[in-house]
Amino acid sequence: MTGTPESSPLGIAQRWVLVLIAVALATGLVVLRGGIQSESPMEQLARRSLDPQTALTNGRPTLIEFYADWCQVCREMAPSMLDLEKQSRDRLDVVLVNVDNPRWQDLVDRYDVNGIPQLNLFNAEGEAKGRSLGFRSAEELQLLTTALLENQPLPALPGVGNISQLLTPPSANKAMAGASSPANAGPRSHG
């Protein structure tokens, strides 16, 4: 019986190699998925997000991000957005709106979302200050946040535009709350 695989040193060594490979693969998967915590930064933000109407009426500046789960740029920006939300939690509302959720179609139409990620920026009174299209680095997000918190003009960054109060007075913003604009292009068009 000395020739059975269970008792041979080579059989035991092979089993240990297989166990070590399995442990290494499992560890690799955990690291690739972002650690033990299974929620991605985007999922964490979405879960922590206030209702947009609540955010726009609670006396804090608001940043609304229109995103989609499948959007690679949105996922790349999510860790910086989560850090921003954590740093400014009691001073600024960060709201995520998934463009694929029919619940938010009225907001997608109202804010003319035709590419993602799109950030809509509001002052503490809920008045639209501007919007940003496309990827934003952590530094750019910080500049936008500082401008909102200090009620200053938005920084001059590519893809960032101010909204003129002459063109959209606060009364027009409120009137637009019940209206939707025609959709020429959907958010999936990226543009």
Which of 46, 71, 108, 128 is catalytic? The answer is: 71
What is residue 13's predicted lDDT score, i.e. its pLDDT? 83
Query: Could you tell me if 99 and 113 are in contact, meaning their C-beta atoms sit under 8 angstroms apart?
Result: yes
Per-residue pLDDT 10s for the chain (191 aa) are: 455 555 566 788 888 888 889 898 988 877 765 555 558 888 988 888 899 999 999 999 999 999 999 999 999 999 999 999 999 988 999 999 999 999 999 999 999 999 999 999 999 999 999 999 999 999 999 999 999 999 999 999 888 887 655 444 444 444 334 433 334 444 544 44
Q: Residue 179: what pLDDT?
A: 39
State residue 182's pLDDT score: 39
Catalytic residue list contains 35: no
Residue 27 amino acid letter: T
Buried b or exposed e, range 71-108, using 16+ CB within 10 angstroms: bebbbebbbbbbebbeebeeebbbbbbbbeeeebeebb
What is the DSSP-derived secondary structure letter of residue 25? H
Which pLDDT belongs to residue 9? Answer: 65
* pLDDT value at residue 173: 44
Q: What is the pLDDT of residue 33?
A: 59
The reported pLDDT for the residue numbered 15 is 87
Which residues, other chains included, contact 57 with Cβ-Cβ below 8 Å and sequence gap of 6+? 126
Active site residue 26: no
Distances (CA, A) of 159 to 44, 59, 69, 148, 164: 26, 27, 22, 17, 16
Q: What is the pLDDT of residue 189?
A: 47
Q: Among residues 42, 45, 46, 74, which one is catalytic?
A: 74
Q: How many residues does the chain have?
A: 191
**What is the number of alpha carbons within 13 Å of residue 65 lying toward its C-beta?**
29
